[in-house]
Homo-oligomer: A and B are copies of this chain.
Amino acid sequence: MSTEPAVRPGLVRITDVAALAGVSIGTASKALNNTGQLRDETRLRVRDAAEKLGFVMDARGRALSSGRSFTVGMVTTDSFGRFSIPVMLGAEDVLSAGQMAVLMCDTRDDAVREQHYLRSLSARRVDGIIVTGRSSDARPPIDIDIPVVYAFTPSTDPDDVSVSVDDAAGATVLARHLLDTGRRRVAFVSGPARHAAATRRAEAAAEALGDALAAAPLYGEWSERWGRQAVDLLLRTTPDLDAIACGSDQVARGVCDRLRELGRSVPGDVAVTGYDDWDVMALASRPPLTTVDLRLDEVGRHAGRVLLDLIAGSPVSSSVIEPTLVIRESTIGG
């Protein structure tokens, strides 16, 4: 199973073509598949390299026959946390159906551990790598000569292939739901301002709410306690509000608890929305939370499919998965 690749023409991989042409694997894929924005000179250089090496397009059938380890690496910075687990399960499902075994690489946000794993994956000649993490903010690309797909945590290099979530779209759909259900005095309680996800969500909601935004967004932490504190702050400054949209389900659960303690009914007096659809928070909240599902399993499944395509030399490009609105009693119950 571990025949040396690239020594026989029939076993040439897109990796080898990219290396000879001096381009990234994503660029080689675009050049060979006639997709994407590339200079003609680049496209020709890649095709010359493919011809020299005897690389054949639509490689999946050929690739399946030999020259591969049928193994991919799953690199996470998140210690299999709340965000990376559904991504990894989705990817693992697709890859395992494709007869690929998945190697777990938990880097724990440690650059030294990441390098260790990348060397190990390279030595084991994995066919590809999925990179994921705890944040939807972009990260620097990894430097390795193997097909890579970034899932949930995109690469900062636009030439790389990333599958990301649309954080702003989630906040927009929640804001519209509040407007559609008649709310006109809405506050937004988010996480730490230094987190791009916290500001992206708050700003997208503010834009969609327009005049219905009753106060400037509040930034704090991703915790229930902050949600409880924020209610006290808001009721002093904006006592007539009729909805509180939150940057996470944890914050929203704290908001519901504090409103109930103060005798304000949810959603009768004040509607509340969360973000993430984390069952432990969204379902245990009193009342259960209207929120957005980031569809992280679909992010993972799509990343798995894209990686299989990239390994096979098929055309691939980055994509964005749209979150979906989940309506529960915190906005429309009674």
Contact = CB atoms under 8 A, between A and B. Distances in A.
Contact of A104 (B1, B99, B104, B224): B104
A120 B101 contact: yes
A132 B201 CA distance: 38
Contact of A89 (B80, B103, B120, B225): B80
Contact of A88 (B1, B74, B104, B280): B104
Q: Is the interface of A mostly helix, strand, loop or mixed?
A: mixed
Interface string A136-176: 00000000000000000000000000000000000000000
14 contacts: A71-B103, A74-B104, A80-B80, A80-B85, A80-B89, A92-B106, A93-B106, A101-B124, A102-B103, A103-B103, A103-B104, A104-B104, A224-B284, A225-B284
A5 to B, nearest CB: 14
Contacts of A102: 103-104
Given A1-B124, A80-B80, 12 more contacts: A74-B104, A79-B89, A80-B85, A92-B104, A92-B106, A96-B117, A96-B120, A102-B104, A103-B103, A103-B104, A225-B284, A250-B284
A2 interface: yes
Contacts of A1: 2, 124
B80 A88 contact: yes
A244 to B, nearest CB: 19
Interface string A206-231: 00000000000000000111000000
5 nearest A-B residue pairs (beta carbon): A102-B104, A2-B2, A104-B104, A101-B103, A80-B85
A259 to B, nearest CB: 14
Contacts of A96: 105, 116-117, 120
Contacts of A280: 280
Nearest to A126: B101
Contact of A85 (B2, B85, B93, B124): B85
Interface in A112-142: 116-117, 120, 124
Contacts of A104: 74, 88, 92, 102-104
A79 B87 CA distance: 12
Contacts of A284: 223-225, 250
Contacts of A99: 120
A30 to B, nearest CB: 30
A89 B79 CA distance: 7
A117 B97 CA distance: 11
Nearest to A278: B280
Contacts of A93: 106
A106 B74 CA distance: 14
Contacts of A79: 85, 89
A51 to B, nearest CB: 32
